[in-house]
Amino acid sequence: MNNLDQLVRTLRQAATELGFSQFGITPAVSMLGYPDLIAWIDAGYAGEMNYFANRQKAYEHPDGVLDGAKSMIALAYPYDAASAQALAAGEGRIAKYIWSGLDYHDIIHPKLKYLCKILTEHSPESLARGVVDTAPLMEREIAQQAGLGWPGKNTLLLNKYQGSYFFLACVLTNIELPYDESHDTQHCGNCRACLDACPTDAFPAPGVLDATRCISYLTIEHRNAIPVALREGIGNWLFGCDVCQEVCPWNRKPTRQATQTQTDGKSTNFDHLDLRTLFEIGEEEFRLRFRKTPLWRARRRGILRNAAIVLGNQKHEANVPALKLGLRDTEPLVRGASAWALGRVGGQIAGSELESCLISESDPDVLGEINLALSTIQR
């Protein structure tokens, strides 16, 4: 066994001990899917995620992330794939990758640094960089080329034995390592489960995602009011969405569960959340409660916007007191979503609250939401 083979063996063993479930190596070459990425951006499917267009050229070749890159290690890090429990009234669903309550970047980055350390200790003059979806890198194509799986029709990487409930990460290095075979076969066949199940019709074509219609994008990345036509499709999703994964046949027998290794012993029960209480806390308390969790990305205004839409979709009269608080929130975004939700719940109390706020409200967007809600109740 030569030195490079021993290095790969050491890296692979370390990756397994660190909790990664898949490991593969591919050469750092120009990305074949780069033209498709450009077409996707030009079609407007990236929505408000301007970082794609702003770093567009860097996606073309991995040396846009690490100058002189020759090899890329693709890694899969699994997360909880258990079935979600039934929701009670006033609760909202959260995507499975957030159930630990921890930011996966904080979990995975130190592990990548350890793998980078192995590389630089082997070759002190070498370069190495670990990436978890924060750099302009086409991770899914890299993972496919490294043999980890194939791109599903819902755009997620699929693996026959592990489904799609895993994060992708990469380690780039200027060391030329032995490469693994790419995964050139597709195993979706004629299945359309993910495409047909999407509540907001976010797939204009197999393998193409219109992020502006995706529940995950709308509840996490989108900063403004969610389009009225898409609100009912949000259903009970407070943050993220798993629908296209839950219906995938390759996820019918999930082999992964959250483990101490995967969460560093800090896992919390975060699979659902009581939404009504969120309207009772201010900015500072929200910060203290969620600053270290993935929910912080949407900030308080985004989470309460989402919470109002979920409560409106549930149409329970018991949600009205929380929505009344939302209707008087300091954030216009929250007031507008709460007005819409009260219109969905309906009833005399909701109507009276809306009429009362119609007199005092000055924001034109919120006024529009109140009038829409009142007309809904009247119908």
Q: Look at residue 187 and tell me whether its pLDDT is greater than 80.
A: yes
Q: pLDDT at position 195, please? A: 98
Q: Which domain holds residue 144?
A: 3-79+104-173
Q: Look at residue 267 and tell me whether its pLDDT is greater than 70.
A: no
User: Which of 120, 145, 173 is where one domain is finished?
Assistant: 173
In a domain, 94, yes or no: no
Q: pLDDT at position 254, please? A: 54
How many of the other CB atoms lie within 10 Å of CB of 86?
Answer: 7
Residue range 277-294: average pLDDT?
94
User: Which of 152, 173, 194 is where one domain is finished?
Assistant: 173
SS (H, E, C) 87-110: CCCCEEEECHHHCCCCCHHHHHHH
In a domain, 349, yes or no: yes
Residue range 262-272: average pLDDT?
58
Residue 182 pLDDT level (bands cut at 50, 70, 90): very high
Place of tokens 């007199």: 359
Q: What are phi and psi of 186, to 5 degrees?
A: -110, 145
In a domain, 195, yes or no: no
Q: Look at residue 77 and tell me whether its pLDDT is greater than 50.
A: yes
Is the same domain home to 156 and 25?
yes
Is the same domain home to 42 and 158?
yes
Annotated active-site residue 133? The verdict is yes
| Higher per-residue confidence, 84 vs 91 | 91
Is the same domain home to 156 and 295?
no
In a domain, 355, yes or no: yes
Is the same domain home to 153 and 280?
no
Q: Look at residue 94 and tell me whether its pLDDT is greater than 90.
A: yes
Residue 229 pLDDT level (bands cut at 50, 70, 90): very high
Q: Look at residue 261 and tell me whether its pLDDT is greater than 80.
A: no
pTM of the model: 0.93
In a domain, 257, yes or no: no
Percent of the chain with pLDDT over 70: 95
Residue 260 pLDDT level (bands cut at 50, 70, 90): very low
Place of tokens 């969460």: 263
Which helix (H) or strand (E) segment holds residue 355: the answer is helix 348-360
pLDDT, tens digit, for every residue of 330-364?
999 999 999 999 999 999 999 999 999 999 999 99
CATH number for the domain that contains residue 353:
1.25.10
Q: Using an 8 Å Cβ cutoff, are 189 and 267 in contact? A: no
Q: pLDDT at position 259, please? A: 40
Which helix (H) or strand (E) segment holds residue 78: the answer is strand 71-78
In a domain, 375, yes or no: yes
In a domain, 141, yes or no: yes
User: Which of 173, 192, 212 is where one domain is finished?
Assistant: 173
Q: Of the residues 133, 196, 201, 274, which is catalytic?
A: 133
Is the same domain home to 165 and 280?
no
In a domain, 216, yes or no: no
Q: pLDDT at position 379, please? A: 80
Q: pLDDT at position 258, please? A: 41
Query: What domain count does the chain have?
Result: 2
